């Protein structure tokens, strides 16, 4: 009997799962944490290198672009190379990027280091999820995915807090120097404990698919990222989106016609995988509300420090991390449907409260709202993703995780640009209204700018409610499904039934 991804039950019992998962989860935690520290560090780095925000934002945009280009390729890489080869190579690349960033004497070198880091980090999360699918049968994956949630959820939540503390007490280089010893420890442990968990196939690279994927996802993510800064009417934004969409249409057509596709899109013929992937788009956009809007409100409109902003997020982050394994066990027992419904309802209620922020909203009230949102996210984030992947046959595990992570990356770019665009445009509208009314009320310009900024953030949060309602509606259609058998297994069953008939 086969467990998944070419591992038999007997082989699985001899593999030490805990050391493998622990090493990979810590690696994923470190790379995910690294992705979020720039949200707090960017103002310091802009002052250090005397650069404009439009230049400094490439530290995050460039990181996201490299991740977005690499993730679709992981489906092919995980079939071609062993788990150990991919993980260790990724961590070595990440280590090189951390060293370059720590030693950077100017902005171009720092940006180069960040891009190298992203090249190493891009494959870690899809690889980790594929390992879980390979080592655990569907009825036990929820608990394992719950611990994976510690990396996906906990790291970005505490990243701003730790980064804020480091920046207030140490030079900015400490953010990167601090990652070097942890990365080395992970690499050493990987050499000792990591085992391969899937069978590899020597398949040739389809260079046309590689080019189309790189151009398509790269230009699409660039277009969405720039739209939040330059506006949707910018010619470079429009050109990037058109080129990206055209390349992805050609990429999709090619994958559907190839016998051994670069990224197997046949995963979308499984209804539960397709449904949960659509829900994941709305869920990811909702997640970016906290990551983008709340720091802007706290630091720009209210004048809180980076450390105070990070500390506000700490209780919710801790609770979310603690809940993740518990939610995994609940998923194994009850499925994803009602966990998702309850979680999204919690998100909708707390998000509605965010649409009425003022310059007098108390710090404690904001902590409670943020913690409530994180509880909601803990309830549905991993169950939704795992429910879809559970339906895929083992041969599509690698491609399914690559597709799932790619969709999240693109949805994140869309969410960022959409929220920034709405916030900026609505802030300008509110500022004009306040200035017209302020000419007679004697309100200072600084106060009007602050009020307009808060109202613009409120409007952006209201947009999140729309995605939440759509996700809630779709969640009612989630069902517990069995893993689809492999094609050869299905044919054997048909033959047996025919013989018995």
Query: Is 356 in the same domain as 400?
Result: yes
| Total domains present in the chain | 3
Residues 191, 240: one domain? Answer: no
Structure tokens at 98: 């951390």
For 293-330, write each residue's pLDDT tens digit.
887 788 778 888 767 877 887 888 788 878 888 898 89
pLDDT in tens, 451-465: 888 998 899 899 889
Q: Are residues 54 and 124 in the same domain?
A: yes
Q: Is residue 320 part of a domain?
A: yes
CATH code assigned at 314: 1.20.1250.20
pLDDT attached to residue 247: 94
Neighbour count for residue 472 (Cβ, 10 Å): 19
Model pLDDT, residue 6: 44
Q: Which of 220, 238, 257 is the last residue of a domain?
A: 257
Q: What is the pTM of this model?
A: 0.79
- Residues 249, 139 share a domain: no
| The three-state (H, E, C) secondary structure of 427-455, written as one string | HHHHHHHHHHHHHHHCCCHHHHHHHHHHH
Last-in-domain residue among 203, 224, 244:
203
Flag the least confident range among 57-61, 355-359, 469-473: 57-61
Let me know if residue 90 belongs to a domain. Answer: yes
Residues 228 and 161 reside in one and the same domain: no
Q: How far apart are CA 311 and CA 305, in angstroms?
A: 10
Average pLDDT, the chain: 83
Q: Is residue 46 part of a domain?
A: yes
Give me the residues paired with residue 7 across strands.
4
Q: Which of 17-31, 207-221, 440-454 has the lowest mean pLDDT?
A: 440-454
Tell me, yes or no, whether 253 and 270 share the same domain. Answer: no
Pick the last residue of a domain from 195, 229, 257. 257
Tell me if 278 is assigned to some domain: yes
Are residues 221 and 176 both part of a single domain?
A: no
CA 50 – CA 107 distance, rounded (Å): 9
Assigned domain for 120 exists? yes
Beta bridge partners of 4: 7
Q: What confidence category does residue 9 fall into, taking pLDDT thresholds of 50, 70 and 90?
A: very low
pLDDT digits (tens, 9 = 90+) for 161-182: 788 788 888 899 999 999 999 9
- Listed in sequence order, the residues at least 6 apart from 184 whose beta carbon sits closer than 8 Å to its beta carbon are 95
| 482 and 354 share one domain | yes
Let me know: does 417 contact 165? Beta carbons within 8 Å. Answer: no
Token duo for residue 294: 């709340």
Q: Which of 312, 261, 227 is nearest to 79 (CA)?
A: 261
151: containing domain: 15-203
pLDDT for residue 496 is more than 80: no
| 49 and 64 co-located in one domain | yes
């Amino acid at each position: 009997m086969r467990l998944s991804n070419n591992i038999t039950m007997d082989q699985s019992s001899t593999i030490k799962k805990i050391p493998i998962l622990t090493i990979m989860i810590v690696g994923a935690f470190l790379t995910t944490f690294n992705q979020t520290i720039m949200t707090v560090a960017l103002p310091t780095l802009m002052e250090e290198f005397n650069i404009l925000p439009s230049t400094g934002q490439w530290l995050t945009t460039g990181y996201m672009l490299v991740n977005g280009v690499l993730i679709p390729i992981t489906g092919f890489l995980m079939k071609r190379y062993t788990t150990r080869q991919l993980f260790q190579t990724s961590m070595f690349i990440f280590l090189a990027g951390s060293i370059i960033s720590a030693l950077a004497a100017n902005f171009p070198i720092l940006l180069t280091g960040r891009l190298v880091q992203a090249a190493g980090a891009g494959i870690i999360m899809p690889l980790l999820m594929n390992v879980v699918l390979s080592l655990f049968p569907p009825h036990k994956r929820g608990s394992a995915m719950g611990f994976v949630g510690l990396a996906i959820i906990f790291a970005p939540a505490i990243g701003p807090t730790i980064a804020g503390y480091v920046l207030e007490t140490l030079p900015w280089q400490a953010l990167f120097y601090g990652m070097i010893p942890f990365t080395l420890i992970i690499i050493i442990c990987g050499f000792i404990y990591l085992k391969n968990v899937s069978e590899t196939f020597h398949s040739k690279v389809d260079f046309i698919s590689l080019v189309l994927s790189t151009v398509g996802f790269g230009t699409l993510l660039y277009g969405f990222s720039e739209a939040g800064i330059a506006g949707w009417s910018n010619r470079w934004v429009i050109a990037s989106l058109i080129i990206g969409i055209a390349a992805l249409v050609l990429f999709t057509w090619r994958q559907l016609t190839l016998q051994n596709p670069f990224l197997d899109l046949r995963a979308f013929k499984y209804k539960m995988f397709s449904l949960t992937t659509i829900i994941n788009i709305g869920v990811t956009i909702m997640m970016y509300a906290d990551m983008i809007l709340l720091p802007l409100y706290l630091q720009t409109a209210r004048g809180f420090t980076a450390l105070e902003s990070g500390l506000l997020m700490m209780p919710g982050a801790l609770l979310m991390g603690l809940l993740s394994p518990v939610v995994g066990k609940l998923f194994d027992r009850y499925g994803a449907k009602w966990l998702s419904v309850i979680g999204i309802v919690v998100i909708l209620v707390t998000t509605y409260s965010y649409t009425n922020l003022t310059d007098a909203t108390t710090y404690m009230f904001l902590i409670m709202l943020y913690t409530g949102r994180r509880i909601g996210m803990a309830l549905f984030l991993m169950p939704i993703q795992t429910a879809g992947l559970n339906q895929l046959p083992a041969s599509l595990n690698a491609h399914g995780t690559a597709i799932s992570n790619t969709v999240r990356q693109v949805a994140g770019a869309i969410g960022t640009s959409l929220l920034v665009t709405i916030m900026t445009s609505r802030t300008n509208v509110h500022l004009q209204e306040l200035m017209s009314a302020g000419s007679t009320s004697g309100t200072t310009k600084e106060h009007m700018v602050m009020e307009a900024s808060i109202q613009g953030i409120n409007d952006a949060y209201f947009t999140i409610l729309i995605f939440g309602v759509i996700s809630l509606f779709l969640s009612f259609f989630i069902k517990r499904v069995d893993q689809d058998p492999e094609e050869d297994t299905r044919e054997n069953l048909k033959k047996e039934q025919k013989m018995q008939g």
